[in-house]
Amino acid sequence: MDLVIEGRVYFRGSLTRTRIGIEDGKITAIGRNLRGDELVDHGDRLLLPGAIDPHVHFRDPGQEAKEDFSTGTLAAAHAGVTTILDMPNNLRPVITSAQVADKRETVSSRAWVDFGLFGGLSRFSDIERMADDVAGFKLYMGSTTGNLLENDDRWIDAMLRRVATTGRTVSVHAEDDAILAKGPELDMEEHELHRPPEAEVSAIRRLAAMGTGARVNICHLSSAEGLAAMDGTGFTAEFTAHHLMLDSRFDRKGYSKVNPPLRTMRHREALMDGLKAGKLHILGSDHAPHTPAEKEKRFDEAPSGMPGVETSVPLLMGLVKHEFIDLHTFVAVTSLNPASVFGLRNKGAIEVGMDADLMVIDPKRMARIDAKHLYSKCPWTPFEGWDAIYPVATILRGTMIMEDENVASARQGQEVH
Ligand code: NCD
Ligand code: ZN
Ligand code: ZN
Ligand code: ZN
């Protein structure tokens, strides 16, 4: 055995003091008496599966000044995220297999953690050919950053039936564009009025009524009614830290502008209840970095989106510490469920045969989020000053890539398949 790590290991649903044996990046044994070339004893610290963030916008290629794959994946590693899935709404959208290949060529050598790429769904997408090259498909039913949009039932139905034959999951930006009000909006309240819960509900209901057989994952679920509309659909629900922890009282003008919008307390509470009840399945940061210059434009012109890849998982661990949610929920939504929804067979749990992707947590190390100490290029966060627990180490396929919030190894992120 190359490496043996000891600690309180999250193994099959409980915390057990034991050892994890690692060889060639894989977990090869789990047990109390393992020996190896090297033993690292983490004492009372928790060893949890590395998080999988299945929703980031790293802006690479095209807008590398906002974020690139290097800074984005470093930010991920800092937060205990060992796998990210990157969205296709680049400056030039990624909607054909040739474009996926081009993007891969540009970004793969920059990755500090493992990654997968989404293929955008458009009328021109070669869905069957793309399937082998993407971690999942993305459908935009409402307009948002970028120009990917398909809100016509006939096209959506046809595309999702083709997706169903590939077995891939389709993540959906579920806001019915026909219900979104266009035209100028001056503030947060108007932004919310223009993109009401009914838009979310309508998109979910239309998808459910199609019954295409595709595996559908609803992104950034934002409303009580949207959550209720999920019942009986068989779709999975992805949620963000900002919709769970912020509401419309958090008004920093353009900085608080995001799609779907931050809503009232009532919605936030419904999401928290849903999370506790197991109705929200996946934490996705929707990391959408925009520059302060853009966010400080007139509200109307400021782009929508907030950063999150470097704060979401540590914030959620803070919620575990403060006993808002339990550790099982944390592990389910950060690793177990995203791995199963996106078919990442080697990831998502501490089990023999899996990649040795881990985060080491010292529950006593509560910290305050400070944008100055983040690796992301995005120089601001809506969570400035909030309590969070950052991992003391992040391990990717057996290699410690981050230790005490410092880079600890060479870059070695790989594409997931
Ligand atoms: C995202 C972005 O900026 O790429 N913006 C956002 O407000 N969430 C796009 C998206 O996920 O809708
Ligand atoms: Zn979206
Ligand atoms: Zn209006
Ligand atoms: Zn997004």
Q: Which of 89, 143, 173, 376 to mutate to test the pocket of ligand 1 (most atoms within 8 A of CB)?
A: 89
Q: What is the pLDDT of residue 296?
A: 98
State how far Cα 84 lies from the chain centre.
7
- For residue 132, being part of any structural domain is answered with yes
Domain identity same for 269 and 369: no
Domain identity same for 81 and 219: yes
Burial of 234 (0-12, 13-18, 19+ CB in 10 A): exposed
- Which residue, 48, 111, 75, is CA-closest to 309? 75
Distance in angstroms (rounded) separating the CA atoms of residues 34 and 24? 16
Q: Ligand 4: distance of its center to the CA of 304 in Å?
A: 10
Q: Is the CB of 304 under 6 A from ligand 1?
A: yes
Q: What is the pLDDT of residue 168?
A: 98
Q: Is the CB of 378 under 6 A from ligand 1?
A: no
Q: Ligand 2: distance of its center to the CA of 144 in Å?
A: 7
Domain identity same for 103 and 21: no
Q: What is the pLDDT of residue 352?
A: 98
Q: What is the pLDDT of residue 157?
A: 98
Task: Report helix angle 153-166 to 197-210, nearest 10.
Answer: 60
Instruction: Yes or no: say if 376 and 75 are a contact pair by the CB < 8 Å rule.
Output: yes
Of residues 176, 286, 355, 357, which has the active-site annotation? 286
**Residue closest by Cα to atom 9 of ligand 1:** 145
Antiparallel, parallel or unpaired: β 136-140 and 393-396 = unpaired
pLDDT band, very low/low/confident/very high, at 1 (cuts 50, 70, 90)? confident
Domain identity same for 32 and 58: no
Phi, psi of 13 (to 5 degrees): 90, 0
The DSSP annotation for 158-185 comes to HHHHHHHHHT-EEEEE---TTTS--S--
H or E stretch including 91? Answer: none
Atom of ligand 1 minimally distant from the CA of 89? 4
- For residue 96, being part of any structural domain is answered with yes
- For residue 193, being part of any structural domain is answered with yes
- The answer, yes or no, to whether residue 271 has pLDDT greater than 90, is yes
Q: The tokens 């990624």 sit on which residue?
A: 94
The string of pLDDT tens digits covering residues 53-102 is 999 999 999 999 999 999 999 999 999 999 999 999 999 999 999 999 99
Q: Is the CB of 305 under 6 A from ligand 1?
A: yes
State how far Cα 240 lies from the chain centre.
8
Antiparallel, parallel or unpaired: β 81-86 and 51-56 = parallel
Q: Write the CATH number for 37.
A: 2.30.40.10
- The answer, yes or no, to whether residue 125 has pLDDT greater than 90, is yes
Domain identity same for 42 and 165: no
Q: Is the CB of 258 under 6 A from ligand 1?
A: yes
- The answer, yes or no, to whether residue 321 has pLDDT greater than 80, is yes
Distance in angstroms (rounded) separating the CA atoms of residues 242 and 343? 26
Point out the domain boundary residue: 308, 341, 374: 341
Q: Ligand 3: distance of its center to the CA of 50 in Å?
A: 43
Range of the domain at 287: 50-341
The string of pLDDT tens digits covering residues 287-313 is 999 999 999 999 999 999 999 999 999
- For residue 270, being part of any structural domain is answered with yes
Burial of 169 (0-12, 13-18, 19+ CB in 10 A): buried
- The answer, yes or no, to whether residue 383 has pLDDT greater than 80, is yes
Write down the mean pLDDT value for the chain: 98
- The answer, yes or no, to whether residue 417 has pLDDT greater than 80, is no
Q: What is the pLDDT of residue 43?
A: 97
Mean pLDDT of 5-9: 98
Q: Ligand 1: distance of its center to the CA of 290 in Å?
A: 10
Question: What single DSSP character describes residue 306?
Answer: B
Atom of ligand 1 minimally distant from the CA of 140? 12
Domain identity same for 198 and 249: yes
Residues with CB under 5 A from ligand 2 (ion): 173
The residue length of the chain stands at: 417
Annotated catalytic residue 370: no
Count structural domains, the chain. 2
CA-CA distances (angstroms) from residue 294 to 206, 254, 304?
34, 8, 10
- For residue 412, being part of any structural domain is answered with no
- For residue 392, being part of any structural domain is answered with yes
**Residue closest by Cα to atom 6 of ligand 1:** 305
- For residue 134, being part of any structural domain is answered with yes
The string of pLDDT tens digits covering residues 173-219 is 999 999 999 989 999 999 999 999 999 999 999 999 999 999 999 99
- For residue 77, being part of any structural domain is answered with yes
Domain identity same for 220 and 320: yes
